[in-house]
Structure 1
């Protein structure tokens, strides 16, 4: 029985292998109906893009949205920023004001105003950003604004020349320096010399330092101690920068006329700060004085004087020109730079040699151009530095010296000023300036007042 089943399995397997290997068959297929063949061959047509434009979609019944922005959603409105400054400005203000007295500090004055220690420290830092608090002097005023609850809002420090330092304390602290725009007032005076020009000016209410300015110009020509005997006619015209009734700057002479022994000496200072004053005798040009610092004020002349720092009387070997820190300094004559550096009490110095025997020295400089070097040639009027207070000096000024064969000479002497006039050359406008000055002075004096119309600087 078992043997028969085995034989049957072998036969079946043989038939299957024959079929797989392609054993030939003659089986026939039945024909496919025509309708069924057509259906089997059918394929759908390709899709075409629509011809009509896509209509805008209406969002929320009113907003037209392009197809590509269908997924867009509007941003929420920005959160409004609260204006703290305007809010505080609308609050009521309490104002306190005080004046710095001798020996008082800024901190003690702020304490008197009722500010807390943190607020006082904040005020000091804010003001120091615009002003050197080491320069505070008695008489300066302080104004403090606070809210009724004591919140610090504003501080104003008033210093010299009408300048104010303002600090505003809001979300951010803001500090600024307020420099007022002064008026330029023209004044004139007609007086008679008594014992000295200095005493005459002081008694007439005219700035006494004008005596120094005149000595600068007429030194070497007029000996004020010997030639002035009293009764000489003196006329002056000058400008003052004012804020209201307060003079906030040093006045500057514009014109001076002095009659000595029937000789009329006239001095015209330029209005353009060129520094070149002209001196006339009886209407004829005597000389031109070219200053190394344009528009500067002569603060000390050549000769024996009481030293402003040490207090003793000693020889002053040059002249000093007071001017703001950083004012340009110019050479007075062509030459060659022979020294750049420091010399004791002179501070930072530049020395220029002129020929073999003459040297000019410019001292107390704050800076010197890096491009300058020893041996460089310079022309008259070249910038060689800036005014400073280096060395032994009480404030920014230029100490100017002229040395001949190593010995100091008066830069304002007749010989030195004549050389300056020669170097300046003829100027056809000098006589026109003299005529204009005479006319202006006469007009002011005819008004019967010592104050003319105010002009904006």
Structure 2
């Protein structure tokens, strides 16, 4: 069997060899035959004629402008924002005004704030506002998440002031005080029975009666000199926020005609300035109020003592004002005493020359660095209103002593003379002229017809 297979293989190989030989031989005979000519060689071009003219008559740069290269436009990569804006969770706002009998804790509890947060909020608010001054009409606004987690608490108090507590990892507090609008008002009235009634009937702030009495006391006797029909013209400023009046009205100028004489008072623009009083255009007195805008609560003379109940001499005048209100020197001088004097409490005394002393008592504190021998100017702060010593509440008890004896602070001329020596005459007269011009513009008629200023 194997022999047959080998034979067959040998025969096959022999056949392939013969066939290959024949094929190669035939190809060799074809290669040796000449190939037919398909393309003719081109004829040589005639030689160019050389002349004397230049080869190029146009500059190369004009004939062949430089190629314009274009930078391939690179696609701009779009960058994703580094941080996505924070999305605040939905919140709810709860607001309520305080009513009589309410406390801060009660209101915050109604808003759904837990006891721990209520205590922290009270501390934060109390750092910026005396919570004992809370009264009906103040309001609490709470902003919380829908899960009742408080985010901020706002207390709205008087004069548009808002105290806001932000609740986060740590509590933060800020006070927002809006800038009020100021308006200048003027009005004329006639006095029939009293200054207070005249002001009230003409819708002028009645508290101006105290300012006028304080300035003109000792010069005009309001009970004897006012017989009826006296003309009173006033110029004052008021502040408002969103149309609502805030703070106290402030007098700018007053003109009162009594017995054919014209009394004029020009108040200063600054709190520590001095008011000037004129009669028919002549300077009568310069006055610096010890407490700006305070209420005259008790005058000089015999009275029933508010603490002891017996009748005794009241050796000064009392100005009721809020605790901490600045107390200012009424005339220039030197500090003669700073300290404590029995029922007077904390006291500052200022000597004005050799015979006159002013005394400021019941103070809560004295001005920083104030010491005996120090010179002070009229209107300079010497302390703050308090209730030290024997006092029923915050007030300034103010005295003027002449040769050691108390005199009526509102009528003594020695203190006025000391202040008059310090006044800048031309500046004071300019202020008077400006005040007159404002009043005349508002009312439409001249204030003074006979005076030189």
Tell me the TM-score normalized by structure 2: 0.71
Structure 1 residue corresponding to 2:385, chosen from 384, 388, 405: 388
Q: Is contact 2:356–2:414 with CA below 8 Å preserved after alignment?
A: no
Q: Which residue of 2 aligns with 1:325?
A: 324
Larger radius of gyration: 2
Q: Is contact 1:365–1:385 with CA below 8 Å preserved after alignment?
A: no
Q: Is contact 2:233–2:256 with CA below 8 Å preserved after alignment?
A: yes
Structure 1 residue 404: Cα displacement: 2.3
- Check if 1:413 corresponds to 2:411: yes
Q: Which residue of 2 aligns with 1:127?
A: 125
Q: Which residue of 2 aligns with 1:74?
A: none
Backbone CA RMSD of aligned residues: 3.1
Distance 2:401 2:215 in 1: 19
Distance 1:265 1:383 in 2: 27
Q: Which residue of 1 aligns with 2:158?
A: 160
Deviates more, 1:406-415 or 1:252-261: 406-415
Q: Which residue of 2 aligns with 1:334?
A: 333
Structure 1 residue 306: Cα displacement: 7.9
Q: Deviations over 1:334-375 (max 9, x none)?
A: 2451x321234432112234455432212233333565544x
Q: Which residue of 2 aligns with 1:138?
A: 136
Distance 2:243 2:309 in 1: 35
Distance 2:250 2:368 in 1: 33
Q: Which residue of 2 aligns with 1:171?
A: 169
Structure 1 residue 265: Cα displacement: 0.9
Q: Is contact 2:151–2:168 with CA below 8 Å preserved after alignment?
A: yes
Q: Is contact 1:296–1:323 with CA below 8 Å preserved after alignment?
A: no
Q: Which residue of 2 aligns with 1:257?
A: 255
Q: Is contact 1:346–1:390 with CA below 8 Å preserved after alignment?
A: no
Structure 1 residue corresponding to 2:441, chosen from 418, 443, 447: 443
Structure 1 residue 271: Cα displacement: 1.3
Q: Which residue of 2 aligns with 1:211?
A: 209
Q: How many residues align?
A: 361
Q: Secondary structure at the match of 2:224?
A: helix
Distance 2:279 2:112 in 1: 65
Q: Secondary structure at the match of 1:131?
A: coil
Instruction: Go from structure 1 to structure 2 and tell me whether the alpha carbon gap of 1:253 and 1:381 turns closer, same or farther (over 3 Å shift).
Output: closer
Q: Is contact 1:298–1:319 with CA below 8 Å preserved after alignment?
A: no
Structure 1 residue 315: Cα displacement: 5.3
Matches within 5 A, 1:19-418: 86-87=86-87, 90-292=88-290, 295-297=292-294, 299-300=296-297, 302-303=299-300, 316-320=314-318, 322=321, 325=324, 327=326, 329-330=328-329, 332-335=331-334, 337=336, 339-354=337-352, 357-368=355-366, 371-374=369-372, 376=373, 378-381=375-378, 385-391=382-388, 398-418=396-416
Instruction: Go from structure 1 to structure 2 and tell me whether the alpha carbon gap of 1:154 and 1:296 turns closer, same or farther (over 3 Å shift).
Output: same
Q: Is contact 1:369–1:384 with CA below 8 Å preserved after alignment?
A: yes
Q: Is contact 2:331–2:377 with CA below 8 Å preserved after alignment?
A: yes
Instruction: Go from structure 1 to structure 2 and tell me whether the alpha carbon gap of 1:120 and 1:82 turns closer, same or farther (over 3 Å shift).
Output: farther
Q: Secondary structure at the match of 2:198?
A: helix
Instruction: Go from structure 1 to structure 2 and tell me whether the alpha carbon gap of 1:312 and 1:216 turns closer, same or farther (over 3 Å shift).
Output: farther
Distance 2:369 2:109 in 1: 51
Tell me the TM-score normalized by structure 1: 0.70
Structure 1 residue 406: Cα displacement: 3.5
Structure 1 residue 275: Cα displacement: 2.7
Q: Which residue of 1 aligns with 2:73?
A: none
Q: Is contact 2:323–2:386 with CA below 8 Å preserved after alignment?
A: no
Instruction: Go from structure 1 to structure 2 and tell me whether the alpha carbon gap of 1:308 and 1:183 turns closer, same or farther (over 3 Å shift).
Output: farther
Alignment gaps of 5+ in structure 2: 1-81, 446-453
Q: Is contact 2:323–2:364 with CA below 8 Å preserved after alignment?
A: no
Q: Is contact 2:154–2:162 with CA below 8 Å preserved after alignment?
A: yes
Q: Secondary structure at the match of 1:186?
A: strand
Q: Is contact 2:335–2:348 with CA below 8 Å preserved after alignment?
A: no
Deviates more, 1:301-310 or 1:227-236: 301-310
Distance 1:393 1:161 in 2: 29
Instruction: Go from structure 1 to structure 2 and tell me whether the alpha carbon gap of 1:195 and 1:352 turns closer, same or farther (over 3 Å shift).
Output: same
Distance 1:361 1:442 in 2: 40
Distance 2:307 2:443 in 1: 41
Q: Is contact 1:238–1:253 with CA below 8 Å preserved after alignment?
A: yes
Q: Is contact 1:93–1:147 with CA below 8 Å preserved after alignment?
A: yes
